[in-house]
Amino acid sequence: MLRTALTLALTATVAVYGATFDVTFGTAGHNVPSTLYGLMFEDINHKADGREFFDRVVTVAFMPNSFKIVHSNKSLPVNATIFPCTSAALNSWAALGRATISVVKSSSPVSTALPNALSFSVASGTTGTVGFTNAGFFGFPVTAGFIYTGSFFYRTPSPPAREVSGTFTADLRSTSGTVFTSTTVPFTTSSTWQLATFSFTASSTQTSVENLFALSVNATTVAGLTMEFTLISLFPPTFNNRANGFRLDLSEVNVSQRQNITLLSSDSPEGTASPFIKLNVAVINKSLPDLEGETPAERWAWENTVGDLVDRPGRLGTWGYVNTDGLGLFEYLQWIEDMDMQPIMAVYAGAILSSIPYRARRFSLDGESVAEDDLQPYITEAINQINFVIGDATTNPQGQMRAAMGHPDPFTLNYIEIGNEDFFSPATYTDYRWADFFNALHAEFPQLHYIATSATSGFVPTLTPAPTFWDLHIYSNPNFFINGAFNFDILPRNGLQFFQGEYACMTNNAGTDLSFPFIDGSIAEAAYMTGFDRNSDIVFAASYAPLLQHISNFQWSPDLISFSPNTVIPSTSYYVQKLFSLFKGDFYLTSTTNTASSPVQWSVTRDTASNQYFLKVVNTATSANTVVFTLSFTPGSTAGTGTILTAPSGTMNTPTNPNAAVPSNFSFTAGKTITYNAPALSLSVLTVVG
């Protein structure tokens, strides 16, 4: 993900106000691929790691030389020193009663992956209640009816001669101590690690998310003891009840206590019907020791993200915050399968990206790359990663790992992207990395499609072997997207297929960064997307990026969907994606050709099974324009249904005004001629029965 330097010769937008556009369409056209409108998923903006996106409301894995930082924020160091075994790691943790907590390297760690622990000490003679609390990741939502499940590991490094037994109390409480839900968890002193599991149900919904998770115990029971804890985890219900699963409200509807919106799920009529998720999980910082075969702790290596949570070391993520990798490759694949989608999986292809934070990295494009002679381990790693997804469950070692995690059947996998934005190191990508990866992977998995990663400029790749699939990324301003509606029309039909894997209107026309998508930019994206419909003979997939943003801590804006612990804010661009996706159709009908500089763009598609025609009209102007459609047939019904997204210039859906612009329905009279007055800054979809 990078704001590209991609520049194209553009003509200035000529505002034509109050014009009439005549559109005629017949029966000529081409199929629209089922993959056309999908989603892009990269761990940025805290969308994935451990606690928030998939709502592990607190999971604390005490990482290598480190400690999970639950309240990570921008003022904390973003380099590898984020894993200190120091009190900094106690951010958001607090002792309860007369107890002492600290971070220690355990003398007998729960696993090699997780060497650190929270040490909890209670002096002899202490009375009352003691324990510790955690403030969650910007809070804990408490939702009536939700069953929360939790677990933690504990041990007593120097147990008393006579075993001590007692009960911990696990609860969710307000910061002032009002307990909303709790349960007891029996324990016995032992020098070996014990796993405790528990669950409780909230009976009320709290409007405030500033709540605490607490683990407490009668001080008399533990007086004089020191105990260690690690991998402390608490989950609300997850999508499809998956372990380490995803937040319900970001995955599907049916959470009446929260918001009734299906955001990402494909199988609901209210969903975006998205066919794929592009997984940018492989782009990582490889430090130089890597070239000699060492693996820095922060590297995204798929093997470190699968298997038991206790064996996942986590890493410093590409975007400068700690990833537990509790959301690992298996969980991603499971989620995608549960949503009836397919992955487009990126594999690491030897580019060395800096782990410096976004603002600095953005202007530092001079990446290095792994030398050709040293590439083989990474090619093997990519082969193993693919085998984890599709390898035979009985004969292939990685397939066996997948089967051991409960999924003997291969996952669906059709597309592999070799690298991601490897124009950081363009020369080596064209010199050897593309060829070496492509040749090796293609030989091993000839049935898969291989996508070459983004270009620095222009659209025509010069790679050998010539790729069949090519990923393009573009972040720009409204005028770029309006003028770019015909970018794909001029490309040769020579077998090359395009994936607009990332795109978003990121600034206004004056170049000012946007905090949230605004209607002007979203409508400009819609104008650009009519070009996807029209060119879907060569554009096989497209995904807006980034997908998700934690509003309390993020590295990039604007984003498709913003969220807090208990709210979800779909942007104006989300609704554009949703409408294109819902009204995608399966056949594009050629219509009157427009011009790139026009303020009005359109596309016409048909859904064969339902015999419905979708007339998408995008008016990017700040005043209305009229479009006259002349159909090649008389509609089967005069009752036309329309859906429109429109709002005054500058409108954004924000945390304080989340529904500033949402689509609404209308009806119109359908005839052989349809005259539609498209309001200023609007995307309309007119549905006509054939």
Ligand X SMILES: *[C@@H]1O[C@H](CO)[C@@H](O)[C@H](O)[C@H]1NC(C)=O
In whole angstroms, how close is the CB of 583 to ligand X at the nearest point?
A: 9
Q: Which is nearer to ligand X, 126 or 543 (CB)?
A: 126
Residue 521 vs 565, nearer CB to ligand X: 565
Min dist CB 135 to ligand X, Å, is 10
Q: Which residues make Cβ contacts (< 8 Å) with residue 379, sequence separation at least 6?
A: 436, 437, 440, 441
User: What is the closest distance, in whole angstroms, from the C-beta atom of residue 236 to ligand X in the complex?
Assistant: 11
Taking the complex as a whole, the smallest distance from the CB of residue 136 to ligand X amounts, in Å, to 13
Q: Least distance in Å: CB of 79 to ligand X?
A: 4
Three-state secondary-structure class, residue 478: helix
Rounded CA gap, 118 and 519, in Å? 47
User: Cβ 425 to ligand X, closest distance in Å?
Assistant: 10
**Residue written as token pair 């929360």:** 148
Exposure of 32 in the CB half-sphere (CA atoms within 13 A): 27
> Which CB sits closer to ligand X, 146 or 153?
146
Distance, first Cα to last Cα, the chain: 42
- In the bound state with ligand X, the residue whose beta carbon lies nearer, of 279 and 352, is 352
Strands 226-235 and 147-155: antiparallel
With b meaning 16 or more CB within 10 Å and e meaning fewer, what string describes 304-319? Answer: bbbeebbebbbbbbbb
Backbone angles phi, psi at 381, to 5 degrees: -60, -40
Give the span between the Cα atoms of 488 and 528, in whole angstroms. 10
For 435-453, give one letter per residue: b (16+ CB within 10 A) or e.
bbbbebbeeebeebbbbbb
Encoded amino acid at 427, one letter: A
| C-beta closer to ligand X: residue 28 or 123 | 123
Give contact residues for ligand X (rule: CB under 6 A). Answer: 73, 75-77, 79-81, 91, 128-129, 218, 220, 254, 256, 259-260, 269, 285, 287, 296, 352, 354-355, 368, 641, 643, 665
- CA neighbor of 661 nearest in space, from 675, 680, 633: 680
Nearest distance from C-beta of residue 497 to ligand X, angstroms: 31
Question: Residue holding tokens 């220690």?
Answer: 104
C-beta of 10 vs 209, nearer to ligand X: 209
Nearer of residues 10 and 76 to ligand X, judged by Cβ: 76
Q: Closest distance between ligand X and the C-beta of residue 615, in Å?
A: 14
- The Cα–Cα gap between 490 and 616 comes to 22
Helices then strands, counting H and E runs in the chain, come out as 11, 35
The CB-of-229 to ligand X minimum distance in angstroms stands at 21
Closer residue to ligand X (CB): 65 or 259: 259
For the CB of residue 241, give the shortest distance to ligand X in the complex, in Å: 7
Q: Name which of 73 and 197 has its Cβ closer to ligand X.
A: 73
Nearer to ligand X, 75 or 192 (CB): 75
Residues in Cβ contact with 681 at an 8 Å cutoff, skipping those fewer than 6 apart: 519, 520, 523, 619, 620, 621, 622, 646, 647, 648, 649
10 Å Cβ neighbour count for 222?
23
Buried b (16+ CB within 10 A) or exposed e, 155-164: bbeebeeeeb
Pairing relationship of beta strands 226-235 and 20-31 according to DSSP bridges: unpaired
